């Protein structure tokens, strides 16, 4: 019998703890449990046999930590350890039980929390999977990072045809250490096509009960449950739930429905499995009922599309000069600030489009998605016309995203839908095809139907297809609006699909566009629009969605509406006090005042004069005060940020009047390879920015070669490197050496800083300048650029 046939049984009994049993069999402190597969195979086999005798139907190999990272000091290779473990299990099973290849977390955190990349994680898992091919199923257990286990599942699916089961470990608050919610785990893993999902470890059966219940609400898959034998005593490391009580609690968990694979984790022994087997015999499997709507998610946040949700449209270079500049300059922070402001304004999901002919869209998309997911919790919509860009983003996306988009053209259907299926995403279906956009609602409905049917045919849940009925410009085709609205209504009522619309196109060419957009949005919502794609910073549009939810009886008791508008602070009047001067405003960190004052001055004062005679001296005063301990670091930064507002106004003014750019010089900043602590570098960036230098920020964990390539490409005269730890000073030295040995960079200066650096060490590794703090980096820049 194979695993998938086994799933047709009411229940499958798994085993209990391996570690607990190995300790009982005399595992020494510090001895690596996986090495026993080779050094004492009889001990491992005995444990398997004891579990089978107790009723276990699938035993797990003794390979929880058998990855290259954890085994580096074991004296054995991954192939040797896993090969031996699988042979031991097969021997012990002797055809009476199935064998699962057990895979645990690598033991290092993935980006952005740690420095391990998704691709490196994938390689670790692939190695394990290839070393253990003679198994019936692959179990991923005890994972806390959804991104890590996604790398594992992809490695399994792409290198093996075995079924895959994933179990994650949650805390009492229903989240993993990495913040992953139960619902996010269920949606993402079911999307990736695993055979069962569930929970193990961390808690006893009673504490796990609400977490299992939540799982059964969010998945259609069989659920896997392996609790600990209660909670451990921190000193004796013994567990507080006895076998009978364990079995009784498991019986209650089984009654929720959907729970099919049951066993035990830490502290459980064959005795627990024996009692569990007895209880399970008296039970009948049933599937839990649930009525969750289609949903998308990040690792931490699920957005159910049971009501209208706002998709923020601002991460898109089309028609946005500043955004295009940011993409060309690799200014990821600008893109992130756009994301944060949209989320604060009420966006539920963010569309991400970074397509620009001059840049490598695939590389940029991956970089931006990773960066966005490190600072915002909302789910993302991957927006590209290129399937290879979509796939690269789908691979590393942490959660269940939306793909924007597929359309009725054969080429699009054939290339996009398989990606949506493989990575378990939702998809926007545009109602156009080879023949363009049908004029009538009927024509668009037909295409929608075709897209949904094709999606269904390859196994995509039709509810995960969101149809875009397309907004046409009403000033060009006035009859078009009604067609769009009719199509919306039909898609909702007849196909049962969610819908989306880019709203603002409706008003193109008309005066007072906001008014038309606003009314059209309301009409569309009334006709079944689920996902308006809008600028959430536009108060009238976001407000219309909120008001609609009150009137449509979605926002119960108007709670959210009242919360938003009752607490709304009246906007600060932009009246400029005649007593505040620009240098006062910078010194006191008054952003609003500073912007107005700068504009007033620009009417009759030369821009460079404002920079050199007001802004820089004000910043110098603040810097000196900070050095002398008269102000705190956040106050220094607030002044710098206020100066930034002034510089932005000046830049805008100069662009209008074709004046010379105000940049005083271009500087590379990077936190060196291996180092992920970058707050110091970011403080330096803020200060340099605000003294009028252009900073090319390469981020953290930066390869030496990237520093050199960028320096040559952008003709850089000053490079700033930071390292926080003694262990990463070596990377700093390597980076400096590479710069020194590169032709064309002879005149390039290097400044270094970071907690553990000393002036002597800086000199020793060949740096030109040592900077004690951010203020000194500005002094260095002044020396290098002569202003």
Partner 1 sequence: MTDITINREEVLRYLGGADTKPDSSMYALLDECEKELSDAAAAKYLYKKVKLADSGLLLGEDIKKHLAGCEFGYAVCATLGASVDRLIRSAQISDMAKAVVLDAMASAAVESVCAQVDEIIADENKGKYLTWRFAPGYGDYPIELQQKLLTMLDAPRKIGLCASSEYLLTPSKSVTSVLGVSESPVEAGRRGCAVCNMAKTCKFRKAGTRCEF
Q: Which of 95, 436, 509, 634 binds partner 1 (CB under 8 A)?
A: 634
Contacting partner 1 within 327-386 (CB under 8 A): 333, 336-337, 340-341, 374-376
User: Which range in 106-114, 308-316, 508-516, 538-546 contacts partner 1 by CB under 8 A?
Assistant: 106-114
Nearer to partner 1, 162 or 681 (CB): 681
CB 288 within 8 A of CB 216: yes
Nearer to partner 1, 571 or 760 (CB): 760
Q: Name the strand (E) or helix (H) holding 51.
A: helix 41-54
Q: Which of 757, 765, 767, 781 binds partner 1 (CB under 8 A)?
A: 757
Tell me the C-alpha to C-alpha distance, in Å, between residue 419 and each of 185, 390, 401, 569.
20, 8, 12, 45
Closest C-alpha among 151, 244, 114, 139 to residue 197? 139
Q: Which of 130, 608, 654, 676 binds partner 1 (CB under 8 A)?
A: 676
Which residue has tokens 């919790």? Answer: 377
Residue 177 binds partner 1, judged by CB under 8 A: yes
CB 303 within 8 A of CB 376: no
Show the site string, 39-78: x = touches partner 1 by CB under 8 A, - = not. Answer: ----------------------------------------
Nearer to partner 1, 107 or 496 (CB): 107
Q: Tell me the sheet residues that pair with 437.
A: none
Contacting partner 1 within 245-264 (CB under 8 A): none
Closest C-alpha among 6, 9, 4 to residue 285? 9
Nearer to partner 1, 637 or 667 (CB): 637
Task: Look up residue 581 and give its two tokens.
Answer: 């001067």
Tell me the C-alpha to C-alpha distance, in Å, between residue 669 and each of 317, 758, 784.
25, 19, 15
Task: Look up residue 700 and give its two tokens.
Answer: 């953290």
Least distance CB 489 / partner 1 (angstroms)? 40
Burial class (CB in 10 A: 0-12, 13-18, 19+), 652: middle
Nearer to partner 1, 232 or 387 (CB): 232
Residue 755 binds partner 1, judged by CB under 8 A: yes
Q: Which of 679, 705, 737, 744 binds partner 1 (CB under 8 A)?
A: 679
Least distance CB 713 / partner 1 (angstroms)? 25
Q: Which of 694, 773, 779, 783 binds partner 1 (CB under 8 A)?
A: 773
Least distance CB 601 / partner 1 (angstroms)? 25
Residue 433 binds partner 1, judged by CB under 8 A: no
Least distance CB 65 / partner 1 (angstroms)? 9
CA distance 6 to 261: 10
Residue 759 binds partner 1, judged by CB under 8 A: yes
Nearer to partner 1, 399 or 443 (CB): 399
Tell me the C-alpha to C-alpha distance, in Å, between residue 30 and each of 27, 34, 73, 125, 553.
9, 12, 11, 24, 61
Residue 620 binds partner 1, judged by CB under 8 A: no
Task: Look up residue 191 and give its two tokens.
Answer: 């999307």
Q: Which of 578, 746, 760, 786 binds partner 1 (CB under 8 A)?
A: 760
CB 464 within 8 A of CB 451: no
Nearer to partner 1, 173 or 553 (CB): 173
Task: Look up residue 736 and give its two tokens.
Answer: 């400096």
The rounded radius of gyration (Å) of the Cα atoms in the chain is 30
DSSP 25: T
Q: Which of 33, 152, 179, 264 binds partner 1 (CB under 8 A)?
A: 179
Q: Which of 294, 638, 735, 780 binds partner 1 (CB under 8 A)?
A: 638
Q: Which of 316, 725, 742, 782 binds partner 1 (CB under 8 A)?
A: 725
3-state class (DSSP) for residue 255? coil
CB 195 within 8 A of CB 5: no
Residue 456 binds partner 1, judged by CB under 8 A: no
Tell me the C-alpha to C-alpha distance, in Å, between residue 577 and each of 392, 613, 643.
52, 21, 18
Q: Which of 63, 88, 142, 147 binds partner 1 (CB under 8 A)?
A: 142
User: Which range in 156-164, 168-176, 211-219, 741-749 contacts partner 1 by CB under 8 A?
Assistant: 168-176
Least distance CB 72 / partner 1 (angstroms)? 10
Residue 645 binds partner 1, judged by CB under 8 A: no
Residue 438 binds partner 1, judged by CB under 8 A: no
Nearer to partner 1, 142 or 499 (CB): 142
Q: Which of 758, 763, 764, 787 binds partner 1 (CB under 8 A)?
A: 758
Size of the site for partner 1 (CB under 8 A): 65
User: Which range in 77-85, 169-177, 273-281, 517-525 contacts partner 1 by CB under 8 A?
Assistant: 169-177
Nearer to partner 1, 316 or 682 (CB): 682
User: Which range in 49-57, 89-97, 157-165, 720-728 contacts partner 1 by CB under 8 A?
Assistant: 720-728
User: Which range in 85-93, 170-178, 281-289, 435-443 contacts partner 1 by CB under 8 A?
Assistant: 170-178
Least distance CB 5 / partner 1 (angstroms)? 33
User: Which range in 290-298, 535-543, 593-601, 678-686 contacts partner 1 by CB under 8 A?
Assistant: 678-686
Q: Which of 36, 93, 109, 392 binds partner 1 (CB under 8 A)?
A: 109
Cβ-Cβ contacts under 8 Å for 131 (sequence gap 6 or more): 66, 78, 79, 81, 82, 83
Q: Which of 683, 696, 736, 781 binds partner 1 (CB under 8 A)?
A: 683
Which residue has tokens 């067609």? Answer: 483
Long-range contacts of 238-241 (CB under 8 A, 24+ apart): 238/267, 239/204, 239/266, 239/267, 239/268, 240/204, 241/204, 241/205, 241/206, 241/267
Which residue has tokens 């998704």? Answer: 118
Sign of the alpha-carbon dihedral angle for 93, 97, 101, 107: negative
Least distance CB 679 / partner 1 (angstroms)? 5
CA distance 385 to 201: 43
Task: Look up residue 359 and give its two tokens.
Answer: 């840049």
Q: Name the strand (E) or helix (H) holding 295.
A: strand 295-298
Least distance CB 201 / partner 1 (angstroms)? 7
Sign of the alpha-carbon dihedral angle for 445, 447, 449, 451: negative
Show the site string, 199-238: x = touches partner 1 by CB under 8 A, - = not. Answer: --x--------------------------------xx---
| Strand arrangement, sheet containing 694-697 | 694-697, 666-671, 718-722, 749-753, 769-770
Least distance CB 488 / partner 1 (angstroms)? 36
3-state class (DSSP) for residue 263? coil
Show the site string, 7-36: x = touches partner 1 by CB under 8 A, - = not. Answer: ----------------------xx------
Nearest-5° Cα angle at 116, 110 to 119: 95
Which residue has tokens 């919360």? Answer: 563
CB 391 within 8 A of CB 419: yes
Alpha helical stretches, state H, 492-538: 513-526
Residue 322 binds partner 1, judged by CB under 8 A: no
Residue 144 binds partner 1, judged by CB under 8 A: yes
Alpha carbons within 13 angstroms on the beta-carbon side of residue 675 total: 28
CA distance 655 to 482: 42
Least distance CB 606 / partner 1 (angstroms)? 30
Contacting partner 1 within 505-564 (CB under 8 A): none
Alpha helical stretches, state H, 160-258: 182-191, 205-218, 243-254
Least distance CB 179 / partner 1 (angstroms)? 6
The binding site for partner 1 (CB under 8 A) comprises 29-30, 105, 107-109, 112-116, 142, 144, 169, 171, 173, 176-179, 201, 234-235, 333, 336-337, 340-341, 374-376, 589, 626, 628-638, 641, 674-677, 679, 682-683, 686, 725-728, 755-760, 772-773
């Amino acid at each position: 019998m194979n695993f998938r046939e086994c799933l047709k049984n009411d229940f499958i009994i798994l085993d209990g703890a391996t570690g607990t049993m190995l300790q009982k069999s005399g595992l020494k402190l510090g001895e690596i449990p996986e090495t026993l597969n080779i050094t004492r195979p009889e001990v491992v086999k005995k444990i398997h046999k004891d579990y089978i005798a107790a009723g276990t139907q699938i035993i797990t190999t003794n390979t929880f930590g058998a990855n290259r990272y954890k085994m580096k000091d074991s004296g054995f290779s991954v192939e040797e350890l896993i090969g031996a473990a699988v042979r031991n299990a097969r021997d012990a099973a002797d055809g009476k039980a199935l064998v699962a290849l057990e895979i645990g977390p690598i033991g290092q955190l993935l980006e952005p929390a740690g420095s391990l990349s998704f691709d490196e994680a994938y390689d670790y898992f692939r190695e394990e999977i290839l070393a253990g091919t003679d198994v019936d199923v692959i179990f991923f257990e005890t994972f806390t990072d959804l991104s890590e286990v996604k790398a594992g599942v992809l490695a399994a699916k792409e290198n093996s045809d075995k079924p895959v089961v994933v179990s994650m470990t949650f805390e009492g608050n229903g989240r993993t250490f990495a913040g992953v919610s139960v619902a996010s785990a269920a949606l993402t893993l079911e999307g990736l096509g695993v055979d069962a999902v569930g929970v193990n470890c961390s808690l006893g059966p009673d504490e796990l009960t609400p977490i299992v219940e939540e799982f059964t609400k969010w998945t259609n898959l069989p659920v896997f449950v392996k609790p600990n034998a209660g909670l451990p005593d921190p000193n004796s490391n013994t567990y507080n739930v006895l076998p009978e009580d364990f079995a009784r609690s498991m019986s209650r968990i089984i009654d929720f429905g959907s729970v099919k694979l049951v066993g035990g984790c830490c502290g459980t022994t064959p005795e627990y499995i024996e009692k569990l087997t007895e209880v399970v015999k008296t039970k009948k499997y049933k599937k839990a009922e649930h009525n969750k709507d289609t949903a998308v998610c990040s690792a931490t946040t699920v957005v159910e599309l049971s009501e209208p949700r706002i998709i923020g449209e601002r991460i898109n270079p089309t028609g946005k000069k500043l955004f295009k500049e940011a993409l060309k300059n690799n200014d990821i922070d600008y893109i992130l600030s756009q994301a944060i402001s949209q989320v604060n304004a009420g966006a539920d999901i963010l569309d991400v489009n970074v397509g620009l002919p001059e840049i490598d869209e695939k590389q940029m998309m991956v970089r931006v998605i990773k960066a966005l997911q490190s600072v915002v919790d909302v789910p993302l919509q991957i927006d590209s016309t290129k399937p290879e860009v979509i796939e690269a983003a789908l691979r590393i996306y942490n959660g269940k995203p939306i793909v924007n988009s597929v359309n009725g053209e054969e080429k699009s259907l054939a290339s996009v839908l398989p990606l949506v299926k493989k990575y378990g995403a939702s998809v926007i279906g545009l109602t156009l095809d080879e023949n363009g956009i049908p004029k009538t609602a009927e024509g668009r409905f037909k295409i929608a139907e075709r897209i949904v049917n094709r999606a269904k045919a390859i196994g995509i849940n039709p509810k995960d297809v969101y149809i875009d009925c397309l907004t046409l410009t009403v000033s060009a085709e006035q009859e078009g609006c009604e067609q769009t609205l009719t199509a919306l209504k039909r898609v909702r009522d007849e196909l049962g699909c969610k819908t989306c619309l880019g709203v603002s196109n409706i008003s193109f060419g008309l005066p007072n566009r906001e008014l038309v957009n606003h009314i059209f949005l309301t009409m569309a919502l009334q006709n079944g629009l689920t996902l308006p794609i809008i600028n959430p910073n536009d108060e009238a549009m976001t407000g219309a969605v909120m008001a609609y939810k009150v009137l449509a009886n979605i926002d119960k008791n108007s709670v959210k509406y009242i919360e938003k508008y009752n607490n709304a602070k009246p906007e600060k009047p932009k009246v400029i006090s005649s007593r505040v001067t620009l240098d006062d405003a910078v010194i006191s960190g008054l952003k609003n005042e500073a912007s107005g004052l700068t504009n007033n001055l620009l009417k009759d004062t030369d821009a460079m004069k404002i920079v050199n005679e007001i802004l820089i001296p004000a910043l110098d005063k603040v810097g000196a005060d900070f050095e002398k301990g008269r102000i705190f670091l956040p106050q220094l930064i607030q002044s710098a940020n206020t100066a930034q507002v002034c510089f932005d106004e000046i830049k805008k003014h100069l662009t209008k009047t074709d004046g010379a750019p105000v940049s005083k010089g271009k500087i590379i900043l990077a936190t060196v390879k291996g180092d992920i602590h970058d707050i110091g570098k970011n403080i330096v960036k803020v200060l340099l920015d605000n003294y009028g230098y252009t900073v090319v920020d390469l981020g953290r964990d930066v390869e030496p070669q990237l520093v050199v390539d960028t320096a040559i490409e952008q003709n850089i005269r000053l490079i700033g490197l930071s390292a926080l730890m003694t262990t990463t000073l070596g990377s700093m030295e390597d980076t400096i050496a590479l710069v020194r040995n590169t032709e064309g960079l002879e005149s390039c200066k290097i400044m270094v800083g970071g907690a553990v650096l000393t002036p002597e060490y800086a000199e020793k590794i060949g740096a030109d300048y040592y900077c004690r703090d951010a203020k000194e980096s500005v002094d260095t820049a002044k020396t290098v650029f002569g202003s």
